[in-house]
Amino acid sequence: MVVVRVAERARLPWVPAWAVFEHYLVGLRRTWRAGVFSSFLLPVLTVVGFGVGVGGYIDQGVGGVRYLDWLVPGLIASTALQVTVADSTWPVFSNFQWVKTYFAQSASPLRVGDIVLGHLAFVLFRVLTTIAAFLLVTGLFGALRSPWAVATLPVVALLGLAVAAPVFAYAAWVSTDNFLAMLFRFAIIPMTLFAGVFFPVESLPDALRWLAYATPLWHAVDLCRAATLGVAPQWSIAGHLLYLAAWAGVGWPLALRAFRRKLVV
């Protein structure tokens, strides 16, 4: 482990988080071709399988809206969630436990906040580029009913920050990657199934409905659905945004504390 004293760190020149973000961009430059195909293939298969396939068995749609059009915004938010968690779990864990990238960065003039912020920025970049591709594909299928669909981009960015920050803290805190698999099994998959992506949460029992409301995903789903359909959300826009911002506000200091615990002695 690299030992860095706080007093010594204060005398080092400041290097912005952009340097960390650029580090991940350099790595992405070598691998982006493999991800481009899946970025477009995933929404195509999902739209065809769920929207066209399953939607063909639903005569009335949902709330008078064609099932494909109702489903797409939920898929936008859930895809953003999955990309966020995938890029915030094993990459963060491996940077501590396996490849030791964070320790190398902390040995430079970078501060802990720069390391966390730069990596978070890259995760948000991945979310935005993935969802931009998703919007393009679903738009070609005629599943975006409103020009306000572009508003889903800042929504998924806020969702990404709300989820990535606490997951960064979790991935930095756990001692084995078995806990990362548990996060997917007991949090991400149930959240995706019951947070209004595939069916309205109003059809759930009261207890499960309020659990869905407590998840950050449901708030993003409601905002994305309002944007793509051109209707008002079920809850207030300000309430949704404040709730997601609260998750990010709590997750950021937790991530900083978890990173400092391992990087600063």
**CB neighbours of 162 closer than 8 A, spacing ≥ 6?**
216, 244, 245, 247, 248, 251
Torsion of CA 80, 82, 86, 88, to 10 degrees: 60
**CB neighbours of 2 closer than 8 A, spacing ≥ 6?**
103, 104, 106, 107, 263
Q: What is residue 30's predicted lDDT score, i.e. its pLDDT?
A: 81
Q: What is residue 56's predicted lDDT score, i.e. its pLDDT?
A: 66
For residues 264 and 250, what is the distance between their CA atoms, to the nearest angstrom?
21
Q: What is residue 13's predicted lDDT score, i.e. its pLDDT?
A: 46
Q: What is residue 77's predicted lDDT score, i.e. its pLDDT?
A: 95
Q: What is residue 39's predicted lDDT score, i.e. its pLDDT?
A: 64
- Long-range CB pairs of 13-19 (<8 Å, 24+ gap) are 13/109, 14/109, 14/111, 15/108, 15/109, 15/110, 15/111, 15/114, 16/114, 17/113, 17/114, 17/115, 17/117, 17/118, 17/121, 18/118, 19/110, 19/114, 19/118
Q: What is residue 5's predicted lDDT score, i.e. its pLDDT?
A: 44
Residue 93 half-sphere exposure, CB side, CA atoms within 13 Å? 18
For the entire predicted model, the pTM comes to: 0.89
For residues 119 and 112, what is the distance between their CA atoms, to the nearest angstrom?
11
Q: Which residues of the chain have pLDDT under 70?
A: 1-15, 34-40, 51-61, 265
- Quick: pLDDT tens for 231-254: 999 899 999 999 999 999 999 999
Q: What is residue 11's predicted lDDT score, i.e. its pLDDT?
A: 42
Q: What is residue 47's predicted lDDT score, i.e. its pLDDT?
A: 76
CB atoms inside a 10 Å sphere around CB 48:
12
